[in-house]
Copies of this chain bind each other. A is one copy, B any other.
Amino acid sequence: MIPRFCSPVAEGFRFTVCATDGRARTGVFETPRGPIRTPAFMPVGTAATVKAMKPQDVAASGADVLLANTYHLMLRPGAERVARLGGLHRFMGWSRPILTDSGGFQVMSLGDLVTVDEDGVEFRSHLDGTRHFLSPERAIAIQRRLGADILMVLDECPRHPITHDAARQSMERSMRWAARCRDAFLADPGGAALFGIQQGALFEDLRRESADRLVELGFAGYAIGGLAVGEGQQAMFEVLDYAPQQLPPDKPRYLMGVGKPADLVGAVLRGVDMFDCVLPTRSGRTAQAWTAHGPLNLRNARFAEDPSPLEEDCPCPVCQHFTRAYLHHLARAGEILGAMLLTEHNLWHYQRLMAGLRDAIAEGRAAAFARDRLARLEAGDR
């Protein structure tokens, strides 16, 4: 089902699918701040910084867009302050597109500090205990003040496992919130785009209904929410066997919070276009390096005198200049440079994976590419 009107939610944004291979697609999501090549991986810049990375080095890794967290930024330094300082792009020195989440996911994982009702979410700051309120309207207003290019609707992301009844009630509230977000957004879109978020847990009928209601509203892109919350890869892939197909083929599909390289490969084959995940950056700060053969723990003694680069044939600046032995030393000594270099390599690794997928889809060899990648991952680290 295709949106019945070209709504102003997407002025300056245009998604073009350049090639398909099975259900996998490769294309370009054009934005006023530059193109996003899809499939795309968005590094996470939680507090207006991709941790341990300079923005120009994030760009050099091949990232066309990054994600920033509304929850963290609304508390510190505050959306008003970011607005007064010229918006997120200027504040953090990143000129390419930025996608902000709605803040809902992180607020609702605060546990005892949260109460949710139809109007929105009340919570206490994890920083200083102050009370805050996030409604659909306020989530949009904050993201607009931050100056995001792509905004996300406020939704409820239920925990796993959940009954069909509870999943329906939660999904229906998310759809009512999506409508309120859209109305609030359309009152002043300011050159940004708004994405809806499909919910419905692991239930195909609820996912179908959620997709239809979102498409009825009309968004510039559609996220698949409520996955990667503990259901496991197999259950997630079962949902991805149908969920992307329930969403319009002419708009980008964004799987939130995913994931490991094998998750990305499997989701791209099933028709997903965009991803975000803290894994490559967080791993970099815990001495893990991602390679085609899976993660390496650089603290491991076997790397103490290993003169090879982190990953063979990797063109990243880290693999060009430093050895596993040096990175082992930095990890053991708790040096900041270790976190910097491992994060940089991991971001390059993720972006190279996405580039490989884009090329493979364009050349009609996505399945073979995926088989090869998964075989190497299963063979394990080297």
Contact = CB atoms under 8 A, between A and B. Distances in A.
Nearest to A92: B326
Contacts of A77: 304, 325, 329, 332
Interface string A236-251: 0000000000000000
A340 B85 contact: no
Nearest to A334: B47
A329 B48 contact: yes
A339 B285 CA distance: 15
Interface string A327-365: 001101101110111000000000000000000000000
Interface string A307-336: 100000000000001110110011011011
A84 interface: yes
A76 B337 contact: no
Interface stretch (A16-24, A51-59, A290-298, A369-377): A51-59
Contacts of A133: none
A91 interface: yes
**Copies of the protein in its oligomer:** 2
Category for how many chain A residues contact B: 35 or more
Contact of A76 (B85, B332, B339): B332
Contacts of A341: 54
A322 B48 CA distance: 12
Interface string A137-171: 00000000000000000000000000000000000
6 contacts: A47-B333, A51-B335, A52-B336, A76-B333, A85-B325, A336-B336
Given A81-B305, A92-B326, A336-B336, 11 more contacts: A47-B329, A48-B326, A49-B335, A51-B335, A52-B340, A76-B332, A77-B304, A85-B305, A85-B323, A91-B323, A93-B321
Interface of A: 47-49, 51-55, 76-77, 81, 84-86, 91-93, 285, 304-305, 307, 321-323, 325-326, 329-330, 332-333, 335-337, 339-341
